[in-house]
Amino acid sequence: QQQVKQSPQSLIVQKGGISIINCAYENTAFDYFPWYQQFPGKGPALLIAIRPDVSEKKEGRFTISFNKSAKQFSLHIMDSQPGDSATYFCAASIGQAGTALIFGKGTTLSVSS
Amino acid sequence: NAGVTQTPKFRILKIGQSMTLQCTQDMNHNYMYWYRQDPGMGLKLIYYSVGAGITDKGEVPNGYNVSRSTTEDFPLRLELAAPSQTSVYFCASSPNRGGGNTIYFGEGSWLTVV
């Protein structure tokens, strides 16, 4: 119940295309769903996050779609650019001290020019 | 603006050796974490701390120990290193509760046990 399942494991998208990464969870107590972006040799960095009381959040070219009934959320990257090539992790937390974040296994995105 | 600083960046250990990964943050965050990242496996929580003097186990604590004597520092100790501890280790911090607050990660420490 503590797992966050992420797919696909890897993704190749052409420049200008839409990248879509999906995550699913079981624990309905999760109340915070961030996405982290990690470049090679660096630590993960927060990209965008959503709470379950909204169905969508957009920041620039990045959008989180959230489906509470299906227990799924996804990251959409519009107009994907080569600079977006990185590993993306979805995560979830219950919001209490100590549980920190439960991470998905990651998706490696390559945007070809 | 340093953020979360980890040392060393790279280390090779022999089986059975011990070492400490250092972590310090200059953001005055109460919460600190240690994660390990293995290829294709995401990040797994090893230990966390909610403040100086308080630590607790995460998902994969076996073979590790931590201490938190100050707000700034959260070292991770590996005792009797094993090949299964070959991984990338990330220290992180957050201002308050992990959930809902941005967790800031260091740049990682690459550890190989041979």
Q: A45-73: per-residue pLDDT in tens? A: 999 999 888 999 999 999 999 999 999 99
**Minimum mean pLDDT range among A24-33, A47-56, A94-103:** A94-103
Flag whether residue B82 sits within 8 Å of chain A, measured between CB atoms: no
Say if residues A75 and A91 touch (Cβ distance below 8 Å): no
Can you give the pLDDT at residue A97?
45
The contact set of A with B (CB < 8 A) is 6, 9, 31-32, 34, 41-46, 49, 51, 89, 93-101, 103-106
SS3 for B87? Answer: strand
Reply yes or no on whether the pLDDT at B100 is more than 60.
yes
Reply yes or no on whether the pLDDT at A95 is more than 70.
no
| Residue type (1 letter), A103 | F
Say if residues A3 and A102 touch (Cβ distance below 8 Å): yes
B108 to A41: CB separation less than 8 angstroms, yes or no = yes
Strand residues in B1-114 grouped as ranges (E): 4-7, 10-13, 19-25, 31-37, 43-51, 54-57, 64-66, 76-78, 87-94, 104-105, 109-113
SS3 for A34? Answer: strand
Q: Which residues contact B49 (CB under 8 A, 6 or more apart)?
A: B31, B32, B33, B55, B56, B66, B68, B74
Partner-chain residue, chosen from B4, B33, B99, that has the shortest CB–CB distance to A32: B99
Q: How far apart are CA A40 and CA B88, in angstroms?
A: 12
Can you give the pLDDT at residue B97?
62
Q: How far apart are CA B12 and CA A27, in angstroms?
A: 38
Between the alpha carbon of residue B37 and those of residues A9, A21, B4, B81, B95, the distances in Å are 15, 20, 17, 17, 22
Q: How far apart are CA A65 and CA B29, in angstroms?
A: 30
The residue ranking higher by pLDDT, A44 or B100, is: A44
B16 vs chain A: nearest CA distance in angstroms? 27
Say if residues B92 and B35 touch (Cβ distance below 8 Å): yes
